[in-house]
Amino acid sequence: MAREKAYYWIKVPINFFDDPAIDWISDQKNGNDYIVFYLRLCLKSANTGGVLIRNIGDMLIPYDVEKLAEIGRTDIDTAAVALKLFEQVGLIEVLENKELYLTAVKDMVGSETADAQRKRLKRQEQKTFSGHCPDNVQEISGQCPTEKEIEIEKEKDKKEKRGKRVFTPPTLEEVQAYCRERGNSIDPQYFLDYYTSTGWMRGKVKLKDWKAAVRTWERQDAKWQGQTDDRRQGTSAPGAAAAAKNKALMNRRDLVGG
């Protein structure tokens, strides 16, 4: 089965000219010509993974300077000087078979099959006729984004919403209802008053889930209740159990942040 034809392109990052190697080449005499020459070579090698070499039958024949100058639409002298500079700063490497490898191309290439291109153009045509783009997606240069771009934007929105989730303190009724649901012995009013007094902080950290704090208090209550029972069994002094309970409550106030 024949391999489906694919279309390739290169994506130039917005900070392309801030790259130290590109910036240094631009500062050279005829630097702008060298940069244009470099970008033309990138385009030529986009569908070969950044490698520049000719396949003729079973032979691999390296490009000479004259042919590269023709590809880059420049003169031979400019091409020769540019290639030396590119190799010097690591933009190209000369491989074993004398082919040229443009090191940055692998990170700049995008592609799609002919079938994918037809579908994309068809979707754009339908959106153009409909007269609008999907909601919550910004139009760029008057064109509707592709489905992939829409999905990316939706995912970004979800992450932003998760990151901006704000804690809302519960009401007394909510705490009472949750304590009844859990079947615990926590005093909802005491719980609410305690965290209101701390500004709903757990130590130096803002509380994110008050229900988790209730469950933590349950575990601490079970622990302290066991300690109280042990004390009660070990003493016959009047009021010993109440004193132990009060001490446990004081410890919870000091040690438990939720």
120 or 252, which is more confident?
A: 120
Q: Radius of gyration over alpha carbons of the chain, in Å?
A: 35
pLDDT value of position 89? 92
Gap between the Cα atoms of 155 and 152, Å rounded: 5
Is pLDDT above 50 for 236? no
CB 19 within 8 A of CB 25: no
Work out the percent of the chain whose per-residue pLDDT is above 90. 30
Confidence (pTM): 0.43
Closest CA to 90 of 81, 107, 102: 102
pLDDT for 81 equals: 95
Instruction: Give the integer Cα–Cα distance in Å for 180 and 166.
Output: 26
Output DSSP code: residue 48.
G
Q: How far apart are CA 236 and CA 232, in angstroms?
A: 7
Q: What is the pLDDT of residue 61?
A: 87
* pLDDT at position 33: 95
Q: At residue 84, does pLDDT exceed 60?
A: yes
E strands present in 11-120? 51-52, 54-56, 59-61, 92-94, 100-102, 109-113
Contact 17, 25 (CB under 8 A): no
Q: Give the per-residue pLDDT at 126.
A: 67
